[in-house]
């Protein structure tokens, strides 16, 4: 919203600051972090007062994990309420409200965060397992369908309009390489391949977006099992996507890298900065020993935000690298369940998600978290390095 002050810069020069994406991104990160410093201590006290805490051991046979859970029993959960609130307020302040993607990103986080909140409340008041899988799946699919339709509407329109708002030099480049601009709307770009090999999905983008939202929200949820693990990994992922969104919002940079140029992606970069500041602030309270957990409220909302950011940048497949830890966690769960059912009760890992496997091997929680952060950072750097490979 404050970006609109740039329109008055002719009367007061310093207001030009609000028109620069880089300035707004830095200010968004700082705003989100400072808001977290103000909001979280009060939220933690309120959660303790309401007794919204971890339930402790689940008694599901995972002895080592149950020991850890029992040690953290009573620690406030649903800290994602504060995290998402601070990020959303920051996004409203620093993103351009006239750009449709601003509201798509905010709505996605609010919607999936609310689903996570319902699950958290069920766990607190009705038992450790939360909502039934069928109900949760149905709600995720319904919300993903709505957001997918919204994204499909924005995807083609904003890419095409980007072609129509550039100067003669841009028109000349587009004439030579038409797939660079309008043709990537409604398509999925394959990393390291020329844009003409992007996959045309058309209305199938709705299903693709729904799948992305489902996968990312649950992958982040699986990762949220140790102090600082999900928040730190998310911080790394959104910083990487902030760079990707920024370069894809600049025509010359996007053309140089041969990546899609998409109108409005500068707001995606600012949104990523807000997410980064929020995650950094959350780590202040979530680093070991954690004072609060984000719960499904935070993990579902953050996962949905990450999915929509990846979709907006037209770099969906890069999320497998940028969010490598998230998807390794989700894959470990899928493989464990499949092995148990298809191989007569035999397991691949000592425990899943995979961070618990290393816990069974005797690794300390802090060592697992730190090494997973390092892996996430290396994977994100590899993802960024692939942008030039076409």
What is the value of pTM for the model shown?
Answer: 0.89
Domain spans in the chain, listed from the N-terminal domain onward: 2-388
Cα-to-chain-centroid distance, residue 37: 21
Q: In the prediction, which pLDDT does 109 show?
A: 97
Give me the residues of the chain with pLDDT under 50, please: 157-171, 173-182
Confidence (pLDDT) at 160: 37
The residues facing 200 across adjacent strands are: 187
For helices 204-223 and 100-126, give the axis angle rounded to 10 degrees. 50
Beta bridge partners of 53: 76
What are the beta bridge partners of residue 188? Answer: 199
User: Which DSSP category does 53 fall into?
Assistant: B
How many C-beta atoms lie closer than 10 Å to residue 325's C-beta? 29
Tell me the DSSP string of 177-191. -GGGTGGGTTEEPPT
User: Are the beta carbons of 230 and 217 closer than 8 angstroms?
Assistant: no
**Quick check: helix, strand or coil at residue 323?**
coil
Residues 6+ apart with CB under 8 A from 318: 191, 244, 310, 383, 386
CB of 304 closer than 8 Å to CB of 213: yes
Q: What is the pLDDT of residue 178?
A: 41
Residue 157 has a pLDDT of 46
Cis previous bond, 353, omega within 30: yes
Do you know the residue count of the chain? 390
pLDDT value for 339? 93
């Amino acid at each position: 919203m404050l970006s609109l002050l740039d329109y008055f810069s002719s009367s007061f020069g310093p207001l030009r600051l609000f028109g620069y994406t880089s300035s707004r991104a830095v200010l968004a990160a700082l705003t989100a972090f400072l808001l977290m410093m103000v909001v979280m201590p009060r939220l933690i006290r309120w959660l303790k007062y309401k007794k919204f805490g971890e339930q402790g051991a689940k008694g599901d046979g995972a002895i080592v994990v149950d020991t850890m859970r029992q040690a953290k029993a009573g620690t406030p959960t649903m800290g994602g309420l504060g995290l998402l609130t601070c990020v959303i307020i920051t996004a409203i302040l620093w993103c351009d409200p006239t750009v449709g993607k601003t509201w798509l990103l905010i709505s996605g986080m609010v919607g999936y965060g609310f689903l996570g909140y319902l699950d958290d409340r069920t766990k607190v008041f009705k038992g450790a397992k939360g909502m039934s899988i069928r109900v949760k799946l149905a709600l995720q699919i319904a919300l993903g369908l709505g957001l997918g339709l919204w994204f499909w509407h924005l995807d083609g329109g904003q890419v095409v309009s980007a072609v129509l708002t550039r100067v003669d030099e841009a028109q000349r480049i587009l004439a030579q390489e038409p797939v660079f601009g309008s043709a990537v709307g409604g398509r999925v770009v394959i990393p390291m391949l020329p844009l003409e090999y992007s996959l045309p999905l058309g209305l199938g983008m709705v299903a693709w977006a729904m799948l992305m939202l489902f996968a990312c929200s649950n992958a982040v949820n699986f990762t949220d099992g140790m102090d600082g693990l999900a928040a730190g990994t998310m911080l790394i992922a959104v910083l990487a996507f902030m760079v990707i969104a920024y370069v894809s919002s600049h025509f010359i940079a996007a053309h140089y890298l041969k990546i899609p140029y998409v109108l409005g992606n500068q707001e995606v970069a600012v949104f990523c900065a807000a997410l980064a500041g929020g995650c950094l602030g959350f780590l202040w309270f979530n680093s070991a020993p954690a004072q609060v957990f984000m719960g499904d409220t935070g993990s579902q909302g953050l996962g949905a935000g990450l999915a929509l950011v990846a979709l907006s940048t037209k770099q969906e497949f890069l999320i497998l690298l940028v969010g490598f830890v998230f998807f390794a966690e989700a894959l470990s769960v899928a493989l464990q369940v499949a092995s148990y059912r298809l191989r007569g009760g035999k397991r691949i890992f000592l425990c899943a998600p995979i961070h618990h496997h290393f816990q069974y091997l005797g690794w300390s929680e802090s060592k697992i978290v730190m090494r997973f952060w390092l892996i996430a950072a290396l994977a994100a750097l590899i993802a960024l390095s692939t942008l030039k490979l076409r």
